[in-house]
Chains A and B, each alone.
Chain A
Amino acid sequence: KNQVEQSPQSLIILEGKNCTLQCNYTVSPFSNLRWYKQDTGRGPVSLTIMTFSENTKSNGRYTATLDADTKQSSLHITASQLSDSASYICVVTVLSGGYNKLIFGAGTRLAVHP
């Protein structure tokens, strides 16, 4: 069964600190892995996308890693800001006939406190 699991479910950190969010997946055949940021009550916004051959991708203070052998990904946030408070969703794309299906994790809810 194709699944994406994220940990932790929620996290509280102080402003200026770093944090790392985890994503494990059992998806086959794998196409790519994306990280999205979703503010409360809003739609998700893409942060990074990585294919099988990429093992790291950065977007400002966000750095995603991918280990396709262990089927794990992480999202590292550096020097957190209050605006980083949001849910972070890991999404894996499955090659499935004519439509490439997205499998969504449940997300990690991050709260950055002053």
Chain B
Amino acid sequence: DGGITQSPKYLFRKEGQNVTLSCEQNLNHDAMYWYRQDPGQGLRLIYYSQIVNDFQKGDIAEGYSVSREKKESFPLTVTSAQKNPTAFYLCASSPRTGSSYEQYFGPGTRLTVT
């Protein structure tokens, strides 16, 4: 059963704690992405990776970190430096980063920090 999985679906953390969100894909896609979705706003790009061991900052990378040690996995760490971490986080993948390639999204993780 191919696709993108994100875990957990809901995550609760105390302020000041780092937290890591998981994203795995078995679509054999080279490119992976992390987005943040807030109410009333469009998705915003946090980080993307075009290939293993490479990743680039998106529009709102401050307070986040990523790694891409394996093709299938692109975990996102929300650090204590992120001022407003409560949001819905979406991971996506595409065969390449070219404009003709569709991005396929995971089911998302809702993070709540109190």
Contact = CB atoms under 8 A, between A and B. Distances in A.
Interface stretch (A14-22, A40-48, A58-66): A40-48
A106 B98 CA distance: 23
A89 B97 contact: no
B99 A31 contact: yes
Contacts of B102: 34, 46, 49
Given A43-B90, A104-B43, A99 B50 contact: yes
A98 B51 CA distance: 13
Nearest to A51: B100
Contact of A89 (B42, B99, B100): B42
B76 to A, nearest CB: 15
Max count, chain B CB within 10 A of own CB: residue among A44, A45, A101, A107: A44
Interface in A23-82: 31-32, 34, 41-46, 49
A43 B45 contact: no
Interface residues of B, number: 25
Contact of B97 (A4, A49, A100): A100
A43 B42 contact: no
A43 B97 contact: no
A34 B99 CA distance: 11
B99 A42 contact: no
B103 A106 contact: no
Contacts of A4: 42
B107 interface: yes
> 7 shortest A-B CB distances, which residue pairs?
A43-B105, A104-B42, A100-B99, A31-B99, A104-B43, A93-B99, A106-B42
5 contacts: A43-B90, A43-B92, A43-B105, A104-B42, A106-B42
